[in-house]
Structures are given as structure tokens and as C-alpha cells.
Amino acid sequence: MDETIYSRRKFIKTLSIGVGSLLLLPRCTFSKASDWRFFTNEEGALVDAIVEQIIPTDEWPGAKYAMVTNFIDKQLVGPYTRHQEIYRNSLSAIQIACKKAFSKKFEELAWDEQTDFLVSLEKNEIATKVLDKSVANGNPIRDADKAIIENWLKSNFFSLIRNHTMQGFYGSPRHGGNYKFVSYRMIGLDPYPIMGQNRYKASSNGQ
């Protein structure tokens, strides 16, 4: 106990937490339900597709490469806990809508179909569109699904995920996105500015 002082109680507490949790480790390896913190694997795939639409790959990598989904997932169990509900429900609403309107998952749609879908979502028109289409298809939606679409398939979710995508892509990698500072390199901004301090100049002036 040279520099660090541990009280006996603290020591025992740490030890028992440590031993206890270490024993759980092997089980943990086999029972991984999701690769994400908040998202299910299905949601993760959907978010990957949406964020890639918001910042697509061109000559520079897009949002998926930049691990934007990881950024959002990480914030949803941190500062964005308050957005969990809207994410869970809106993501589910998107898949229900895609199933009803296209009989496919969102991420299985063609690129332009995905874009159109999100454009309508941004304009807050998608819910009506999907409901009309399903009626036209003679494939009316169950009341429960209809309620989810009406309540959660709204432009405010699009604004939210749009902003979060921008944050994940253009913010600091420490928050889980902007993998290898890809956005900074794209813009031509030094991730770590090269700058010394001016003290040599200052001291030679005698100031």
C-alpha cells in the first residue's frame, strides 16, 4: 500500500465484484444477443443503411465506414438516453412501412428507393404515402401497425438521425464515429493541428 490507500471495505468490495464478474465471463462469450449497446442487430443494419444515405460514399468513405452507427449507439446509452424511445419506435415503423409498401426491408431496397423514402420522411409525407399505397395494393395495415406508422414515422425522427449522423461523421473519433478522422481528412483539416508555442520568439524579444 505505498501511495494508494484502499480501505478494507473498498478492497473487499472491489475484490468481490472482480471475482464475481470474472466468473461470468465465459458465459458472456456465448450469450451475446447483439453486437451493439442499444440497437438490436436488425436495427443496427437498418441504421447503417440510413446513415449511409445521409452521408453516402463517394470518392471518400461514407457514414457506414466512419462507424456513425457506433456513434449513435454509444450516445443512446449515454447523453442521448432520452432519444431511445423515438429510435426504437421509429426504426420499427420504418421497417413496417417498408414491409407493407415494398415487401422488403429498408436496407434491401434499391439505393434510389431508399433515398425517395427518406425524402418523403423528411417532408413528413411518408406515413400517408405508405397507408395509401397499402390500401391501393389491397393489403390494408393492421390497426396496431397503422398506429405505429402514424405516431412514429415523422419528420422529427429524420431531423434527429440526420443531426446525429452529422455529429458522428464530423465530430471527434473519441465518441465512436469519424473513424480515423475520415471527415477531417476529406475536408483537408489537420486532425491534430501542427502548432508550437510562440515562446521562443517571445523570450528573444525579451517580453
- Residue ranges that bind other proteins, judged by CB under 8 A: 3-4, 6, 11, 14-19, 21-26, 28-29, 32, 35, 37, 53-56, 58, 60, 62, 74-75, 77-79, 115, 122, 162-163, 165-167, 170-175, 180-181, 183-203, 207
Least distance to other proteins, CB of residue 96, Å: 23
Distances, alpha carbon 13 to alpha carbons 3, 8, 9, 18, 114, in Å: 20, 8, 6, 8, 52
Closer CB to other proteins, residue 119 or residue 135? 119
Least distance to other proteins, CB of residue 136, Å: 28
Closer CB to other proteins, residue 102 or residue 181? 181
DSSP 41-85: HHHHHHHHHHHHHHS--SSS--TTTTTHHHHHHHHHTTTTGGGHH
Closer CB to other proteins, residue 26 or residue 138? 26
Closer CB to other proteins, residue 31 or residue 143? 31
Closer CB to other proteins, residue 144 or residue 205? 205
Q: Which residues of 119-146 are buried (b: 16+ CB within 10 A; e: fewer)?
A: ebbeeeebbebbbeebeeeeeebeeebb
Cell numbers found for residue 97: 412501412
CA distance 121 to 50: 12
Least distance to other proteins, CB of residue 203, Å: 5
Closer CB to other proteins, residue 53 or residue 69? 53
End-to-end CA distance of the chain, in Å?
Answer: 47
Least distance to other proteins, CB of residue 104, Å: 21
CA distance 194 to 192: 6
Least distance to other proteins, CB of residue 24, Å: 7
Least distance to other proteins, CB of residue 95, Å: 21
Q: What residue type is assigned to position 46 of the chain? A: L
